[in-house]
Structure 1
């Protein structure tokens, strides 16, 4: 089984992609963009002058079923009959072309949604942000907003596809969605010049100078939905841009610590899994 090229490229090229261009950095003693002047606040794509949002972004999550992406599988509540689930997962053996692989992933994602499945333990969010014009936009911060939190029912089950392809996921920010007040914590980063970053924000973006961010969002208890919010300023105007999944739904993650855990092997059978998710050594 092969990893998705787009996500693999995002993760493997993180050392150069995460930081965008070296000019994105804003030193603590410098003035970024327009000096972070505080003007009329805007939310989303509207502004006092009805100008378009100065930012655009694309979002990609790791595939929780893909062992090559270190996927932790899906938590189902209620559990899906094993025969039905095995049929869906076994269909992967017939995947050949990239188009067929994408079709399969979309079908499996629809299957998960239809059976109330959410990513187990963590989700890895790749966020590419860039400006919509030549003018510089300063990203002052990215925040996380939890929308819902529910206990994980005792009858739920986590199912993970077994196997491995090597490599490791990298990330720049981490957040415990199950904490009382989840925040994004900077973990690591590197500029295009190869220098290590010591903080995450502020950074500048423009149409030709994007910034790539990776958010490692995990849960140690309960089931949660959440969104991200980009706080920016440009030419005297400040605003926020909300980030959701590509289909408009909020991101979701469910802790699998208290539920039955099963592995789906390459032979098509299920086996019990032992172990507790550790965010300090997740992969």
Structure 2
């Protein structure tokens, strides 16, 4: 498979997309699916914007190699000593991939709407696209109407890891925020590549809908899972999630398989769900030379 990273915008709420849970209730992590060996599961993504994903915290199921074996029920005497041979479960446990998440991509690099509970004179000028994340954090901003997420996935070795499905879990719904929306308009940049996927968060069971890339020829292809990654062959999943009718909190689950094992990792915004709120009917501001101006048309 080619070394260059294939750009894939993916938001997959596939086969088992779950219905939204009531607002304020977190959904439990999905149980691991086992195929011949135990599966590892991790929560949270790696840091934003990293070109090469770093390992994420993981939790391994199964008894570690060398730990004492339990004594049979009702048996007398002393318990058996530590296992002298490595446990196959412990040897095979572990997540064979790493990933990074960046949740402040702007549509075609032009700009993005953020809902901010401040008056225009309290909001500083919009940032450059690469500085969007810290700018939004200092303003306590929320994605307005749309969240674009780049997920870079890479294997830990030359062994192929198949990315089977990307599902969406909406864990909170409430009425859209009433604060103004600020559009961080700027210069336009790169287009969405082949393999883009749209997700409608307003659906009871959000699913991913493959759409063509923005380019021409090969760049306008429509791609869908599964994809294959390794340490030399990363993959970028580009997710476009939208809402008009709710203040939605959501995260994703990525199913993988490799060498007879299967598992699921949680993809979220550095340990917390992504958050997207509708902006229909809100006052909207655009930054001009002399400050924020209300959009009237």
- Normalising by structure 1, we get a TM-score of 0.67
Q: Output the CA distance in 1 between the equivalents of 2:202 and 2:186.
A: 28
The partner residue of 1:110 within 131, 134, 137 is 137
Q: Output the CA distance in 1 between the equivalents of 2:220 and 2:200.
A: 24
* Post-superposition offset of 1:270: 1.5
Consecutive unaligned residues in structure 2, runs of 5 or more: 9-32, 43-57, 63-88
Bigger Rg, which one: 2
Q: Deviations over 1:43-68 (max 9, x none)?
A: 3232433432111011123356xx87
**Counterpart residue number, 1:71:** 111
Q: Deviations over 1:80-121 (max 9, x none)?
A: 022211xx227x5xx8xxxxx96x6454222232xxx21111
Checking the alignment, whether the CA contact within 8 Å between 1:18 and 1:189 is kept in structure 2 is no
Checking the alignment, whether the CA contact within 8 Å between 2:105 and 2:150 is kept in structure 1 is no
Checking the alignment, whether the CA contact within 8 Å between 1:163 and 1:265 is kept in structure 2 is no
Matched, 1:38 2:23: no
Checking the alignment, whether the CA contact within 8 Å between 2:120 and 2:292 is kept in structure 1 is no
Residue 265 to residue 161, structure 1, CA distance change in 2 (3 Å): farther
**Counterpart residue number, 2:104:** 62
Structure 1 or 2: larger helix share?
Answer: 1
- Normalising by structure 2, we get a TM-score of 0.64
**Counterpart residue number, 2:179:** 156
Checking the alignment, whether the CA contact within 8 Å between 1:37 and 1:236 is kept in structure 2 is no
Matched, 1:222 2:249: no
Q: Output the CA distance in 2 between the equivalents of 1:167 and 1:182.
A: 27
Matched, 1:239 2:263: yes
The partner residue of 1:248 within 258, 267, 271 is 271
**Counterpart residue number, 1:18:** 7
Residue 135 to residue 47, structure 1, CA distance change in 2 (3 Å): farther
The partner residue of 2:120 within 53, 60, 82 is 82
Checking the alignment, whether the CA contact within 8 Å between 1:152 and 1:258 is kept in structure 2 is no
**Counterpart residue number, 1:10:** none
